Structure 1
Amino acid sequence: MQHHWKELIAVDRYTVQSRGVLQEVDRKVLTLLYQPLIGCRALALYMTLWGELELLDGQEATHHRLMALMQCGLPDIYSERLKLEGIGLLDTYVHAKEADEPKLFLYELRPPLAPDQFFRDEMLSVFLHRQVGRHLFIQLSNFFARPSIDETKFTQVTRSFSDVFSAVPAEQIVAGLSEEAGPELLEGKDHIRRDEASYVLDDDVFDFELFFAGLSKQLVPRRAVTAKVKEAIKKLAFLYGIPPLEMQKLVLGVIDPAYHIDIDALRRAAREWYELEHGGVEPRLVERVQPLAYRTMENIEPRTKEEQLMKQLETISPRQLLKEISGGAEPSLADLQLIEDVMFKQQLLPGVVNVLIYYVMLRTNMKLSKKYVEKIASHWARKKVKTVKEAMELAKEEAKTYQNWANEKEKGTRTVRKVVRTEIVPDWLNMDYSQPDDDDFDVEQARKELEERLKKYRDES
C-alpha cells in the first residue's frame, strides 16, 4: 500500500527547476487547454511551482511552505502532483537520505505542448473537445491560430551564416576556447534547455508483439515503425480502441513505396475506422472492454462465482456495467464523466475500472463518490494494476484501508456492525470490516442485486 505519507511528509524538502524558460504563451496554453483536462487544483500547483522557481532560486524549502501557499493539505498536493506527472508537465526526483532524515524532492517543471502540437495530438485534442464542447473547442482553436501565408508566392532571400560572418582561423578558435571557455566555467551547472513536452503511455496499452507478428517485413520493415510512429500507434489504439490486427491494416494503407508511414494519414485512417465502427459517435473510453492481452478468463470456463464475475467484468464495458447496475437505465452524465476521467488520467484498463465500479457501489450504498473513486484509482495506477484478477486481489488486501478512506471525514462515532453472510460470496469480497455510512444499507443485499442484474445481462447477450 502506497499511502501518500509513505512517499511524502510535510517536513520533506523540495526545490524547483525548469526544463527550459517558461513563457507567456505557456501560461495561456496551461490555462485554456490543459486546465479542462487536469482541473484547477493541478493547474494551481503547477503555477505555484512556477512562482517558486524564481522565488526559491535553487534554494530548498519544506512542504509546509507549499501547503501554506496553496492553503490545502498534503494529500491534495500529492494527488495533484500525480496528475501533472501523468500528463507530462512535471518530472519528480527524490534524493533519499538516511531513514530518519527528511527526503529532498526535485520538482522539474516541463513546458506544455505548443498549441500546434496540442491540437495535432490525437488524444489530448479529442479529450479537450469532450470536456469543453464543440463551440468552445473551436473558439480555443481559433485563439491559438494565426493566418496562414502561401510561401510559394515568395522568394527566399535569407543569407547563410557564411555569407554574413567571416571565417575564423582554426588555431584562433582552439586558443580562444582554451583561454576563455574552459569546462570549469560550467562546473556544477547546465545550460538552460527546452525539450518537447510529452506525456507517457505505457507500451503495454498496445500489443506490439501481435502487431508485428502479422506484418510482412517486406511490406512494413521494422525500421519504418520509428519511435514517433510507435507513439502515434499507441495513442490512436488507446483513444479509438483499435486492436493490433486492425491497426496492421491501417498502417498498410498509409505506408508509401519508400517505407515511410505518414502519421497524419494514420490519424485520419484511425478516425475513419472509428466512424465506420461506431457510426460517427465521438470516441469514449467508457465504451471500451478489457483488451484480450489482459484477460485471464478468456479461454477458461468459470467454475466458481468469483470466476464468473471475473469473466463478466473482462467482457463488459464500464458504461454497460453502469447501465446494468442501474437496471437498464442510461448512466448519468456525471457518472460517465467521472469514470472517463479516471480512465484517461490514471490510464486504467476497462476491466480494472469495472472492478472499481463494482467495489465502490457495494461499499458506498450504490453511489459513486468522486473523491473515493479517484483515490482508489490513483492507488491502483501506482500499483500498475492491469487485470481484473489483480484489481480484485488488491481490493481484498486493502479493504480495511479503503474503508478508512471512506470514513476519514466522518464526524463523531457510529456503531460498527459486522457483515452477516448468509450465502457463499466471491472470495475477493469476503472482507471483515465495517458497513458503509448508511446503517440501513445492506451490502449483502446490494451484492445479490448486482449479481442478478449482471446475470440478466449475461443471459440476454
Structure 2
Amino acid sequence: MKNHWNEIQPVDHYTVCTNGLLQEFERKIITFLYQPLIGPVSYSLYMSLWGEVEESRLWSAPSNHYHLMNILSMNLQEIHEARMKLEGIGLLKTYAKKGEGERSFIYELQPPLLPNDFFTDGMLNVYLFRKIGRSHYLRLKESFTDRGMESDSFTNVTRSFQDVFSSENSIDFLRHEANDGSLTNEEKAYIGYGKNEGPPMDDIDFDFSLLLNGLSESMVPRRAFTPVVKETILKLSYLYGIGPLQMKNILLGSLDSDEAIDVEQLRKSARDWYQLQTGDELPDLTPKARPVKKEASKPLSREEELLEYLESTSPKDVLADISNGSAASNSDLQVVEEIIMTQKLPLPVINVLIQYVLLKTDMKLTKGYMEKIASHWARKKVSTAGEAMELAKNEHKQYMEWASGKNEKRTTRRKPIRTEKLPDWFQEDEKGEAKSQNGETYDLEAEKRKLEEELKNFRK
C-alpha cells in the first residue's frame, strides 16, 4: 500500500467548497449522528474545513496542509486517515490535480443525510444503534422528531397565486429579458442547499450477474430491480455479509402482491437472516485494516532497510530517532519546515537530507548548509530517497567544499582537524577508504562501526 505522502504532502495546496449551504442544523446532525461512527478526529477535520468557508458562501481561500496540521495539532498521516473516513461515509468528496512539481486538492464538503434519511438508511442507522445502544438511540431519534400537522381536523384554505395577483399585458416581453438576465455563466452557480446521496457504494464486491442468473424472469421481474432496490441490496450485502446465493432467497421472501420488491421487508428479512446466523448481535462499523506487508523472499540489505525507513517515516520522527527518542527541538523543526516550504522537496528526500547534514556537521542541523544542499536537490528535481542518496554520493566532494569553506571562515587561526562522518548508505570508493582534507587515509569500515550506534534507531 502506498504511504500517505505518496498521495499528499504538507506543501500541497487545497481549497474547501461546500455542496450547498451548511447551517446549524447540519452541524447538529453531524455531531450526534455521524460523530459516533467516524470518531472525534474526522469530526474535527470536517468542522475545521467547514470553518474555512465564510457564512453564506460556497468557497474558501486556498491554503496548504501545513496550515491544517497546525490548527488540528495532527500529523499528515492522521489527517489523511481522517479524510478517508469522511470520504467513505459520504461527507467529503476529494478532487486532485497534479501540476509541474506540485499538487492541489479541492475538498467538497457534503451535507449530512437528513434525519429521516439517516434513520431509514438501513446501514448507518444499524451501525449507530450498535455503537450507542438502544436507549440513547431512541432518545436521539426523539430529539430529531417533532409533532406533525393535524391535517385531519383542519381544511386547507390557502389561496393560489392567481387568486391574489393579476398579470399585465407586457409580461411576455419582460419574461424574455428576465430569463436572459437570470442565466449564469459556466463559472458561476447559484447559492443553495445541497443533498447527500449517502455513503458511496460500489458493486465490486457483489456479483449481481450471479444473483440475476439464479432468479428467472417469472420469479422476480427485472423491473423490480430499481436503483433504490439495487442500492439497498449493496448495503445489506456489505452490512450483513450476504452473498448472491443467500440474497436470492431473501429477495424471494420480500416480493409483494404486485411482484415488486418491498424494501422494508427486504431489510427485515436480511436482518432476520443475520441474527439467525450470529445471534442478536448487530454488526459494528470499523475502519478497514491496512494490508499486512508480505514477507520478502530474501532478507533486505542494510541499505534497503534504511531506504524503506526513510520512505515511510516523517522528518519529525527521524529527528526523534536520531536523538534516541527525544522530541526534536522547535528550532530544528522550524528549519525543516522552512526547507520543505521553500524547496518543496518530498518528505523521503528531506529525511535523507537531515541524516546527511547531521552526520556532516557533528549532529548540528546547520540551516545555511542544509538550505544550500536542498536548493541543489530541488534544481536536480530529486523526488525519492534513493535518488537523494545517489546524488549525495556523486556530489560529496562538492558538499565537502561547501562545508569546509564555511568552517575556514570561522576558524582561520586554527588548522581544522576533524573526522569525516558518513551515513551507512554512503560509499566513497570501492576499497572502503576515504581521505580527509590533509590527504591522510583512515579506515572507513571502522567509522561505520562507530556510526552503527547512532543509526541503530534508523534500522528499527
For the superposition of Structure 1 and Structure 2, which TM-score range results when normalised by the shorter chain? Answer: 0.5 to 0.7
Q: 2:63 aligns to what?
A: 61
Deviation at 1:205, TM superposition (A): 2.9
- Counterpart in 1 of 2:86? 84
What is the deviation of 1:163? 4.7
Supply the distance in 2 between the matched residues of 1:75 and 1:246 (Cα, whole angstroms): 39
Post-superposition Cα deviations, 1:23-78, rounded to whole Å, max 9, x if no partner, equal 11111111111111111010000000000011895421111221222122222111
In the TM superposition, 1:277-292 aligns within 5 A as 277-279=277-279, 281-284=280-283
Q: Distance in 2 between matches of 1:70 and 1:398?
A: 39
User: For 2:278 and 2:189, how far apart are their aligned partners in 1?
Assistant: 50
TM-score (norm: length of structure 1): 0.60
Contact 2:203-2:234 within 8 A present in 1 as well: yes
User: In 1, distance between residues paired with 2:253 and 2:7?
Assistant: 47
2:286 to 341, 345, 356: 341
Q: Which moved more, 1:220-229 or 1:109-118?
A: 220-229
Gapped regions of structure 1 (runs ≥ 5): 286-339, 347-373, 381-390, 415-461
Q: Tell me how far 1:242 sits from its aligned partner.
A: 2.4
Matched, 1:190 2:192: no
Counterparts of 1:397 and 1:68 in 2: how far apart (Å)? 41
Contact 1:91 1:110 in 2 (8 A): yes
Deviations 1:198-248 (A, max 9, x none): 112221232211111111212322221111111111111221222323322
Aligned partner of residue 266 in structure 2, secondary structure? helix
Shift in Å, 1:162? 4.7
Separation (CA, whole Å) in 2 of partners of 1:402 and 1:395:
15
1:172 maps to 2:173: yes
Aligned counterparts of 1:226 and 1:9: Cα–Cα separation in 2:
42
After superposition, residues 122-161 of structure 1 pair within 5 angstroms as 122-149=122-149, 151-161=151-161
Highest CA radius of gyration, 1 or 2?
A: 2
| Alpha-carbon contact 1:89-1:197 (below 8 Å) kept | no
1:223-234 matched pairs, under 5 angstroms: 223-234=223-234
Q: Is the contact between residue 239 and residue 283 of structure 1 (CA under 8 Å) also seen in structure 2?
A: no
1:254 is matched with 254
Match of 1:36 in 2: 36
TM-aligned CA distance change 1:232 to 1:403, over 3 Å: farther
Q: CA RMSD in A?
A: 3.4
Q: Secondary structure at the match of 2:17?
A: strand
* Alpha-carbon shift at residue 406 of structure 1 (Å): 9.7
Asked if structure 1 preserves the Cα contact closer than 8 Å seen for 2:224 and 2:261, the reply is yes
Query: Counterparts of 1:93-108 in structure 2 under 5 Å?
Result: 93-98=95-100, 100=101, 102-108=102-108
Once the two structures are superposed, residues 130-178 of structure 1 have per-residue CA deviations (whole angstroms, 9 ceiling, x without a partner) of 2222222222122112234554444444445555554677733553236
AA aligned to 1:15 is T
Opposite residue 271 of structure 1, the aligned amino acid is R
Q: Distance in 1 between matches of 2:180 and 2:277?
A: 67
Cα distance in 2 for residues equivalent to 1:149 and 1:230:
33
Aligned AA (2:282): P
Q: CA deviation at 1:186?
A: 3.4
Aligned to 1:244: 244
Give the distance between the partners of 1:7 and 1:167, measured in 2 at CA: 59
Contact 2:113 2:195 in 1 (8 A): no
Q: Is the 8 Å Cα contact of residues 94 and 105 (structure 1) preserved in structure 2?
A: yes
Match of 2:209 in 1: 209
Partners of 2:224 and 2:17 lie apart in 1 by 37
Aligned residue for 1:33, secondary structure, equals helix
Q: Matches of 2:297 and 2:31 in 1, distance apart?
A: 40
Q: 1:385 — aligned with what?
A: none
Q: Quote the offset at 1:276 in angstroms.
A: 3.3
Amino acid at match of 1:81: R
Q: Partners in 2 of 1:257 and 1:196 — Cα distance? A: 32
State the one-letter code of the partner of 2:83. Answer: R
Contact 1:19 1:111 in 2 (8 A): yes
- In 2, the alpha carbon distance for the partners of 1:110 and 1:75 equals 22
**Which residue identity lines up with residue 172 of structure 1 in the other structure?**
F
TM-score relative to the length of structure 2: 0.60
SS of the residue aligned with 1:29? helix
Tell me the equivalent position of 2:118: 118
The alignment partner of 2:54 has SS state of helix
CA contact (8 A) 1:111 1:197 kept: no
* Alignment-derived partner of residue 73 in structure 1: 75
State the distance in 1 between where 2:229 and 2:166 align: 42
Q: Quote the Cα distance in structure 1 between the aligned partners of 2:115 and 2:247.
A: 28
- Who is 1:273 aligned against? 273
Q: Give how far 1:197 is off.
A: 3.9
Residues 74-125 of structure 1 deviation map (CA, whole Å, 9 limit, x = unaligned): 2211111111001000001112111x2x212111000111111111112111
2:10·2:76 contact (CA, 8 Å) conserved in 1?
A: yes
C-alpha distance in 2 between matches for 1:90 and 1:208: 28
Q: Contact 2:214–2:248 (CA<8 Å) still a contact in 1?
A: yes
Pair 1:191–1:65, CA change in 2 (3 A): same
The residue type paired with residue 11 of structure 1 is V
Q: Secondary structure at the match of 1:92?
A: strand
**How big is each residue's C-alpha offset from its partner over 1:230-283, in whole Å with a ceiling of 9 and x where there is no partner?**
11111112212223233222222222343432212211222223333334x123
CA distance in 2, matches of 1:155, 1:398: 82
The residue identity in structure 2 corresponding to 1:116 is: N
Q: Is the 8 A contact 1:15 1:59 kept in 2?
A: yes
Residue type of the partner of 1:341? T
CA–CA distance in structure 2, aligned partners of residues 38 and 397 of structure 1: 40
